[in-house]
Amino acid sequence: MSPRTALALGAAAGAVALAQLAPSVASLGQWTSLRHMGRVTWRGEGPGVAFTFDDGPSPDATPALLDRLDELDWPATFFCLGAAVDRHPQVVREIAARGHQIGTHGYEHRHHLGAGPRWIAADLDRALASLQGVGVRPHWFRPPYGQISTGTVAASRRRGLRLALWSAWGREWALPDAAAVISSVRAGLAPGAVVLLHDSDMSSPPGSARRALNALGPLCEDVVAAGLVPMTLDRLCTGPSSAAG
C-alpha cells in the first residue's frame, strides 16, 4: 500500500469516527440554555419541571419511590431498561397504573459510542418489544449515559422516538448522601427543567437509588417554593401522553 493510499484510508476512517462520535457532544446541552435541537430535548417550556428516573424497574427500589411520589402527588417519567422490564413486568405495570409516563432506556445499559448502528437499532427494537409486552408504547428514548451517536439518531427517528437528555441531575452514583444529591439538582432546577435521577442500582453503586428517594422530600419543597409544577416529560414538552393499555 502506498503512503498516499494509507493516508487516504486513515482520513476516511477518521471521518467515519468523527461522524459517529461528534453528535455525542449533544449531551453537553445540560450545561447550556438549549431546550431542544432536532429530535434531542434537554428541557421543556413554561413553569413545569419533569422528574425522570433511569435504569429501572427495580423491585427493591421502584415501589418505594412510587409510594413517595404518591405522597407528593407528583407525576414522573421512568426510562426503563428492556432487560429489567423482562425480569420485572409487574413493576412496569404498577408504574403505568399509578399514572406515570414510561420511556425506553434501551435494552442493555451499554455505551452507544463505539457501538455500530445495527447493534443500536437491534437493542432499541428489543427494548420496544419488551415494553409492548406490558402494553406500553413509549414516545421517548434516553440512551444509556446520555450518549448520542449517528446510529442513535437514525434508530430513534425510524421508530418515531424523541431523544430525551436532561438539564439537571442528581449524580447519585458519585455523591455520598441525599444532601449532596439535592444540591446537585438545585443547581439546574428552573422552569422547564428535566431532572435525571435513578430508581435502580443496576448500573450504579449500591445505595444510589436510596439517595434519590431520600432527596425527593426536600426537592419537593424547592419545587413548591420556586412556583414550579411537576409533570410528565410529554406534558412538559407539550407532546402526546405515552399510551399504555
Active site residues: 54, 198
Cα three-residue angle 143-197-149, rounded to 5 degrees: 15
Helix axis angle for 178-186 and 208-225, nearest 10°, is: 50
The cell for 85 is 422490564
**Euclidean distance between CA atoms 56 and 193, whole angstroms:** 21
Residue 55 per-residue DSSP state: S
Is the sign of the CA dihedral 193, 132, 111, 69 positive or negative? positive
Rounded Cα distance between 205 and 210, Å, is 11
Report the SS3 class of residue 162. Answer: strand
C-alpha cell of residue 41? 430535548
Query: Residue 216 is placed in which grid cell?
Result: 425527593
Q: What is the spatial distance between Cα 106 and Cα 123, in angstroms, rounded to a whole number?
A: 6
Contact 199, 55 (CB under 8 A): yes
**Which among 41, 25, 77 is positioned nearest to 166, based on CA atoms?**
41
Q: How far apart are CA 162 and CA 139, in angstroms?
A: 6
